[in-house]
Structure formats: structure tokens, C-alpha cells
Amino acid sequence: MEGEIRMNGRMFRCALIGAVLLTVSSCNVWAPPPPPDDALERGLVVMYPGAFNSDIELSQFYQAFETAKIPYAVEIKVWGTTERQILDPYGAYDELVATAMSESERIADYRHDHPDLPIILLGYSAGAATAMIAAENLPDDVKVTRVILLSPSVSRGFDVTGMLDHTMHGAVAYSSGNDLFVNFAMNVIGNNDLVWGDTAATFGFDSTDERLIQFRWDPSMLLYANAGGHWDYFLNRLWITDHVLPWINTAE
């Protein structure tokens, strides 16, 4: 059975790689400007993109936060390469973990220099794994303010305790029962924590820890042209403004 799953995974990756590479070739047409120094003296939001590992995946998050004039520095941190994510999930995981560990050190340095400022980590899809691993590997004396996880493509049984232990206000996770394509993909090629099976992006986390706030797609979101698919909101500035921005603004 395991061998069959592996074979299906290879076939699935081969079928997707052409389309993915074509997409990637046009993904990096936008990048955010470096945050001004004065913004870094007010707080920090670090965002980690999904499997395409491109700034543009999070462009509308950036624009929504800019429009709302949040006072913090906003950064987008790419954690790996799309080609490896599709063709070599084990190698992609190594890249993801290496970036997450580096981010842990960088965020710890920022926290030590700015002990009272807000720090928010936001991860979309595969980038949620980066945010979670970065948070859970912070030094014992370091906490971020909040972690925001959007369609996290990690297994639904992922242990969120370590991440939550390094937050002041816990974490927020968005999932959708209509996110069926990604659940199929994670059963075939594996989640971004190298666990084959149902994904938190579709089913939410199994955790009942009260520090984790889980909100799910509901039909009212159709008013935002969000039908609950994996890509229905990540370029949807109105949805981001109404459903993500409040978790940034209440981080202090």
C-alpha cells in the first residue's frame, strides 16, 4: 500500500510539474519594498508564502495591511523552491526547516532588542509549516505575539503545543471543508510535515488547546467570492481585510 502511495505521488508530481514551472516563471514580478526603520521600531509582521514560494502569493495581504496603515514593519520571507516542493518533498522539508530555524534566531534577536513590541507570524498553506516550526523552536524566554495560519498544509494531527507555548496571544487557524484539492494532494504527496493523510487546511487541527482559535469557511464568505477553495481568498483583499486584518490589529 505504501509503495502504491509513493508511486501515485511521483505520478502526481510529474503531472503537475509542467504547469507549476510555467506558473513559477511569472510569479516573481512583484516584491515588497524593505520596511522603513521607524516601522521596525513599532512592531513586526513576517509572512511566509505557500508552495510557489513567491512574494506575489502574499501581495494582497501586504496591500491590505498597507491600506489599513498598520504601524508595523511587514516582511515576506520565502522559505524554499517550488521545483523541490513538487519533485522532492523530503528535500523541500529540509529547506523549510532550515529557513524556519534561521527565522527562529532572527526573530529571537528582534525580540531581545524590542522586548515589548508586537511580533506576528503569518503562514499561508505550506508557509504555515515554516511559521509553526519557527515559533516552536524559539528560545524558552522568547515569545511572539500571535501566529496566524491560513489553509495550513500540515497534517491535522500536527502537535501545536510547542508553537502555542511561544506565543502571548495564541494562534489563529483558518480551514475550509471545501478545500478538497489540497486534501487529495496531501494524501498523495504528503503534507508539509511529511505526514501522509488528511490536512489541517481542510479539516482544521485536531487540537482542543484553548490557545488555538480555529475558524472555518462558512457560506457567508460567498459574499467575498470565497467559495472555500485553497486559492479563493489569497488574492482577495476584501476577505483579507475583514477576516485576517482584525487578528493583526488585536495583537497588542
Q: Which of 42, 37, 184, 51 is nearest to 128 (CA)?
A: 51
CA distance 173 to 47: 14
pLDDT value at residue 6: 47
CA distance 237 to 78: 21
For 2-249, CATH gives 3.40.50.1820
From first CA to last CA, the distance across the chain in angstroms is: 49
Domain boundaries, the chain: 2-249
| Residue 195: half-sphere exposure toward Cβ, Cα within 13 Å | 13
pLDDT value at residue 4: 52
CA distance 226 to 185: 20
pLDDT value at residue 58: 95
pTM of the model: 0.88
In this structure, what C-alpha cell is assigned to residue 183? Answer: 486534501
pLDDT value at residue 188: 85
pLDDT value at residue 83: 67
Query: pLDDT tens digits, the chain, 252 residues: what are they?
Result: 555 544 444 444 444 444 444 444 445 678 888 888 899 999 999 999 998 888 999 999 999 999 999 999 999 999 987 767 666 767 788 889 999 999 999 999 999 999 999 999 999 999 999 999 999 999 999 999 999 999 999 999 999 999 999 999 999 999 999 999 889 988 888 899 999 999 999 999 999 999 999 999 999 999 999 999 999 998 899 999 999 999 998 876
Which 3 state secondary structure label does DSSP give 251? coil
pLDDT value at residue 123: 98
